[in-house]
Amino acid sequence: MAAKIITFLLILGINVAIGFALLFFLALALNGFSERAANYAFGIFIAGGILVSLLMAAAGIFLVKFLAGKEWNAVLAGLLSVASFSVLGFVLKIVIFFVGIFAADFVRTSR
């Protein structure tokens, strides 16, 4: 049980830190956009980032549970889960980053 909780908190913390770092880069990428267009990008990125962070952390619990059922060591199962879902969360947040930028561009050009 402790391995699941620690895994959940580690994945969630890493994904939130990645989200804050990418939020800074999103602000840089949206330089020159109007506030109206940039708000859509921030809204999409923040909502998607929270969703991805929570889903990756929840999936990490299920992977630890699955690997523990296969007689894996709890520490190794947790490390594998943290590494894999942190990387997957990073990739998904990059995708959401670009979706937000495309949404801002769409709002800017659709007048």
Find out whether 45 and 26 touch, Cβ atoms under 8 Å. yes
- Encoded tokens for 72: 């894996």
The total of other beta-carbon atoms located within 10 Å of residue 15's CB is: 26
The total of other beta-carbon atoms located within 10 Å of residue 62's CB is: 12
Range of the domain at 89: 2-109
Per residue in 54-91, pLDDT tens?
999 999 999 999 999 999 999 999 999 999 999 999 99
| Domains held by the chain: number | 1
Q: What is the pLDDT of residue 51?
A: 97
The yes-or-no verdict on residue 111 having pLDDT over 70 is: no
The yes-or-no verdict on residue 110 having pLDDT over 90 is: no
What is the reported pTM? 0.91
Q: What is the pLDDT of residue 11?
A: 96
